[in-house]
């Protein structure tokens, strides 16, 4: 049976039964909706709905592969872009494993050179090692490490939003994207009308772009090279983050890491041999003055790494785009067959997307799987597969079909 037709049938059954669980975004009549359909990958944009009932009916009828709505509010959402009448937008953050250097090295992802067919694993290279070609077909897989890394970034972002920006838990909605990341949405009257220049400042704050340590307590003698003091671990905002990031760095840095920073040999020896003492120094003002020969410039290099640890890696374009379409919760992601689902912000730490986002819970299908890495859904682990015929539970089967890694065996 045709792969796409099979997926579409399952999506149709799913929505027939579960469309009622789709909730309307606030002010539904002021939002633009967009859909991808299975047939010929058509995009339907500029749709508006006055009630959630109409929206659910529409989804049941067209059976989309992806459902989006605008973070923005418009006077007339169905008009062309320039006539819509922008009224404001929620503050939106997208965290995707694609933007995070993960411990797995994306070794589960594969790519294939379009000109010579050479294949490889991991991040896509700039050019094909075999023929120098520059264009590739990619196959991306979500793995536990990718998802954990994305969650870690989301938790850091939450801390910024709650502690620094002062949003309340009621204003923040966290969700699993249904693929490789998390979304965080802030819905508050106060931020609705912020333009993209103001949103860019928020982006720079959470990513640490343009951060200058001397505004956060790194204090040198005027014109001198020595540091007099620095921020402490328990301080709020970026001051505390810098201190904690420096602590984390000094705790774990290897000789190679320190050499990479370009520190002098003598200083590296001092850091490595006095590590315990340096770490204990946080109890009384921190290590800012205790490493001999350490100039303000060298501290800056360490702080730069600290900021990388502490900042939240978000897709910067999504947050500054005030017309962005975003995936609607409780709808299916066409690349996985998983649900985008909301997670209470205070339950994020223990949240398991690979259990909670499973949509298809009934039936088995026999597939011919070309290639797939090991993956887990709920309590069960599947694969790795290579050129095998295998009977799988529906959720696992839909996942592999959506990933275009398998065909249905009739």
Partner 1 sequence: MTLTRADIAKYPFVSDAAEEIRREDLDIQSLDNPELKEIVDRAVERIEEALKNNPPKVSYREREEDIEIPSFPVAIILAAASENNYLKRRYALAEAMRAYELLREEKREKFLDVARAFNWRIRSLTDEVGGRRFDFAISFIDYLRNARSFHESGFKLVNRPLRRGEVFLTKREAARLLREEIRRRIESRLEANVRSRLPESLLDRVEALNRRYASSVEERFIEELSGGMNEDALPPCIRELLSAAKDGRHISHLGRFTLTSFLLNIGVKPSEIVDLFRSSSDFNERMTRYQVEHIAGRRGSGTRYIPPSCETLKTHGLCPGSSDICRGVNHPLAAYRRRVRTFKKPP
CB of 162 to partner 1, least distance (A): 8
CB of 82 to partner 1, least distance (A): 6
Whose Cβ is closer to partner 1: residue 200's or residue 323's?
200
Determine which residue in the list 67, 174, 203, 395 makes contact with partner 1, applying CB under 8 A.
203
Whose Cβ is closer to partner 1: residue 15's or residue 92's?
92
* 190 is a site residue for partner 1 (CB under 8 A): yes
* 288 is a site residue for partner 1 (CB under 8 A): no
Output the furthest CA–CA distance in the chain (Å, rounded): 78
Whose Cβ is closer to partner 1: residue 8's or residue 241's?
241
Q: Which of residues 230-249 bind partner 1 (CB under 8 A)?
A: 231, 235-239
Whose Cβ is closer to partner 1: residue 16's or residue 75's?
75
132 to 161: interface string for partner 1, x by CB under 8 A: --xx--------------------------
* 197 is a site residue for partner 1 (CB under 8 A): yes
CB of 116 to partner 1, least distance (A): 13
Part in contact with partner 1 (CB under 8 A); list of ranges 55-63, 100-108, 207-215, 267-275: 207-215
CA dihedral (185, 27, 178, 68) positive or negative? negative
CB of 229 to partner 1, least distance (A): 8
Part in contact with partner 1 (CB under 8 A); list of ranges 47-55, 273-281, 313-321, 393-401: 313-321
CB of 351 to partner 1, least distance (A): 25
> Any idea which residues carry the catalytic annotation?
94, 96, 315
CA dihedral (101, 163, 342, 329) positive or negative? negative
Separation CA 315–CA 170 (nearest Å): 23
* 170 is a site residue for partner 1 (CB under 8 A): no
CA dihedral (225, 228, 234, 235) positive or negative? negative
Q: Which residues of this chain interact with partner 1, rule CB under 8 A?
A: 82, 114, 126, 134-135, 163-167, 190-191, 194, 197-198, 200-205, 207-212, 215-217, 231, 235-239, 316-317, 320
């Amino acid at each position: 049976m045709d792969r796409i037709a099979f997926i579409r049938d399952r999506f149709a059954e799913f929505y027939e039964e579960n469309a009622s669980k789709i909730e309307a975004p606030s002010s539904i009549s002021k939002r633009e909706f967009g859909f991808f359909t299975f047939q010929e990958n058509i995009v339907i944009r500029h749709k508006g709905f006055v009630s959630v009932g109409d929206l659910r009916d529409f989804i049941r009828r067209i059976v989309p592969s992806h459902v989006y709505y605008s973070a923005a509010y418009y006077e007339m959402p169905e008009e062309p872009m320039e006539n819509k009448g922008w009224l404001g937008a929620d503050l939106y953050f997208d965290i995707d494993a694609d933007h995070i250097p993960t411990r797995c090295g994306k070794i589960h992802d594969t790519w294939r050179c379009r000109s010579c067919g050479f294949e490889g694993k991991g991040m896509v290279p700039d050019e094909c090692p075999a023929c120098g070609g520059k264009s590739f077909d990619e196959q991306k897989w979500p793995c536990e490490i990718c998802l954990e890394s994305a969650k870690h970034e989301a938790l850091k972002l939450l801390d910024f939003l709650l502690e620094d920006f002062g949003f309340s838990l009621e204003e923040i909605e966290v969700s699993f994207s249904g693929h490789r990341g998390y979304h965080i949405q802030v819905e508050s009257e106060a931020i609705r009308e912020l333009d993209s220049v103001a949103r860019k400042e928020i982006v720079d704050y959470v990513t640490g772009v343009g951060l200058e340590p001397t505004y956060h307590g790194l204090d040198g003698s005027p014109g001198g090279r020595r540091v007099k003091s620095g921020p402490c671990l328990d301080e709020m905002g970026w001051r505390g983050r810098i201190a904690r990031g420096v602590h984390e760095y000094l705790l774990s840095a290897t000789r190679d890491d320190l050499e990479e920073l370009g520190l002098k040999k003598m200083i590296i020896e001092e850091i490595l041999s006095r590590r315990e003492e340096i770490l204990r120094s946080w109890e009384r003002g921190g290590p800012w003055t205790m490493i001999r020969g350490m100039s303000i410039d060298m501290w800056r290099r360490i702080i730069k790494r600290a900021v990388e640890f502490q900042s939240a890696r978000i897709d910067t374009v999504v947050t500054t785009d005030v017309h962005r379409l975003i995936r609607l919760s409780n709808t299916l992601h066409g690349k996985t067959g998983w649900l985008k689902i909301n997670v209470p912000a205070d339950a994020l730490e223990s949240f398991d997307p690979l259990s909670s986002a499973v949509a298809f819970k009934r039936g088995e299908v026999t597939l011919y799987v070309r290639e797939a890495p090991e993956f887990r859904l709920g309590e069960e682990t599947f694969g790795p597969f290579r050129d095998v015929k295998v009977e799988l539970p529906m959720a696992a089967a839909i996942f592999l079909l959506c990933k275009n890694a398998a065909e249905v065996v009739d």
